[in-house]
Structure formats: structure tokens, C-alpha cells
Chains A and B, each alone.
Chain A
Amino acid sequence: AQKITQTQPGMFVQEKEAVTLDCTYDTSDQSYGLFWYKQPSSGEMIFLIYQGSYDEQNATEGRYSLNFQKARKSANLVISASQLGDSAMYFCAMREGRGSGANNLFFGTGTRLTVIP
């Protein structure tokens, strides 16, 4: 089973509007972290926001907020007041807590966001 599912291959949003990028996850661990990264055409992975499984409040970082619904296992990214520079690929990722061992990230397939002027 896929650990991270992003069902929107592409999304369009009007400049200055808000957009929600969907992400659902699958894990049996109680401790895990959810991440969103932005990948522009240059290829670098830019960290946007993080939500821990035990965090009760939804994470926010500037124009980014994470709508965390634990019971539904969803971690949607909300970008408010979209800007042209937000056009990029967006990846949802999860790290499961396995104690002191290495903890790699599992990535979804990504959503390509295009901001329309």
C-alpha cells in the first residue's frame, strides 16, 4: 500500500487566491511526522512545513498551513494568497518513528501547482 497518496497531479489557482493540496497517508506507527516540500524546476527540495503526529494544533508557516485530520489520515497543505512564484511541484512526505534507527522520508507522487496571473 502507498504510504503517501497525492491524488491531484495538477492544480491551477488564480493569483492571490488560496489553494489546498491534498495528501493522505497510511501508517500503523503512533509516532510520525508529516512534511511538505516545494520543488521548483531547478530541482532543489525546499522544506515548507512540518506536522508531528502528536501535535494538537495545525502547523502554520507564513502563507502555508497544514490541515491535519488525524482520524482521516490526511495532511492537506493550504497556501493562502498565492503568488506566481508558488508555481512548482509540491510533495507530501512522511517519516515514521522507529526509535533510534534511520528514518527516511516516504514521498507522494506530487502535485504540480500553476498560479495564473
Chain B
Amino acid sequence: GAVVSQHPSRVICKSGTSVKIECRSLDFQATTMFWYRQFPKQSLMLMATSNEGSKATYEQGVEKDKFLINHASLTLSTLTVTSAHPEDSSFYICSARGVGDNPNTEAFFGQGTRLTVV
């Protein structure tokens, strides 16, 4: 299947700093990328949907000024956690869908990023 690469896989940062997470589609053009957050022993919760060249659509309760999403090209979306705090510690995972994908086809996931804010 198609490959989505997410980097870094693990990051520890100090409270108050910003962290950037990259999500790349390696062998296909991703018109839409999704960012999910997963707390320990819980399910994936959609944070936002990003479409190449346009502003991201955030889910209710997700602060767009805190979680900045940029989808500058058809192969790259970034999530920046600004002024991170310990409560932002979580597992973040992206998924991507390709150009012309049938709505009922697989979404490909990155490997996820485990963020720890100390």
C-alpha cells in the first residue's frame, strides 16, 4: 500500500516551546491529510482536516492557534504545537488520502509521534 511517513516518532520538549511534526506522503499525492490525537488507552480523535493550499478545518474544541496546521504541498502537511504544555503530551498521528480517491478507500497512516512535554 501507499506510504505515509511521519517525523519525528518521539519528541520530548520543554514547556513553553513549540514542536513541529511532519507528515509526508512518499509515493502518492495527498489532497487531504487528517491529524488525530490519541490519549493513552483511548481511541483516535480527529483534530483537524487539511487540504492542500487551503486553511485547515478544525474540530470543535481544538484550538487552531495552538495547533497550527500547514498543508503547503501535495506531499507534506505539518502540525506545530505552539507553546506546548504538559497537557499537550499525547500521541499524534496523521493520515493521508490521495487525489481522486474513492471516498470509501483506505486512509494511510503515518507511524505516529509521541510527544512528551516536561
Contact = CB atoms under 8 A, between A and B. Distances in A.
* Chains A and B come from one and the same complex: yes
Interface of A: 31-33, 35, 37, 42-45, 47, 50, 52-53, 91, 95, 97-99, 102-110
Contact of A31 (B42, B49, B104, B108): B104
Taking chain B's interface residues, is the majority helix, strand, or loop, or is none over half, making it mixed? strand
B43 A91 contact: yes
Given A43-B111, A47-B108, A102-B32, 11 more contacts: A33-B105, A35-B107, A42-B111, A43-B114, A44-B112, A45-B109, A50-B106, A95-B103, A102-B34, A107-B44, A108-B43
Contacts, number: 68
Taking chain A's interface residues, is the majority helix, strand, or loop, or is none over half, making it mixed? loop
Interface of B: 1, 32, 34, 38, 42-46, 49, 51, 57, 91, 93, 95, 97, 103-112, 114
Given A45-B109, A47-B106, A98-B103, A107 B43 contact: yes
The 5 lowest CB-CB distance pairs between A and B, nearest first, are: A33-B104, A45-B109, A43-B112, A102-B49, A103-B103
Contacts of A97: 103-104
A108 B43 CA distance: 6
Nearest to A100: B103
